[in-house]
Amino acid sequence: MMNGFHGMMNGYNGMMNGYNGMMDGYNGMMGGFGIFGYIINLIVIGAVVYIAVKLAMRK
């Protein structure tokens, strides 16, 4: 049960990191990357969420 709890916390932390990264990417996009930066941002967030979910499920 504790392993499941730790996995849940890791997934939550990963989600928060992804959110912070998304905000950074959004600010950077507004700084001049345009649609290209937006696409990269989506890919990075997708990868972070996917990895976080995979890690949470593995516990």
Name the more confident of 22 and 58.
Answer: 58
How confident is the model at residue 40, as a pLDDT?
A: 77
The three-state (H, E, C) secondary structure of 1-59, written as one string: CHHHHHHHHHHHHHHHHHHHHHHHHHHHHHHHHHHHHHHHHHHHHHHHHHHHHHHHHHC
- Number of domains into which the chain is organized: 1
Residue 2, domain member (yes or no): no
Residue 1, domain member (yes or no): no
Residue 39, domain member (yes or no): yes
Residue 43, domain member (yes or no): yes
pTM to 2 decimal places: 0.37
Residue 16, domain member (yes or no): yes
**Per-residue pLDDT tens for 2-54?**
777 777 778 788 778 878 877 776 776 666 656 776 777 788 888 988 988 89
How confident is the model at residue 41, as a pLDDT?
A: 75
Residue 4, domain member (yes or no): no
How confident is the model at residue 34, as a pLDDT?
A: 65
CB 52 within 8 A of CB 15: yes
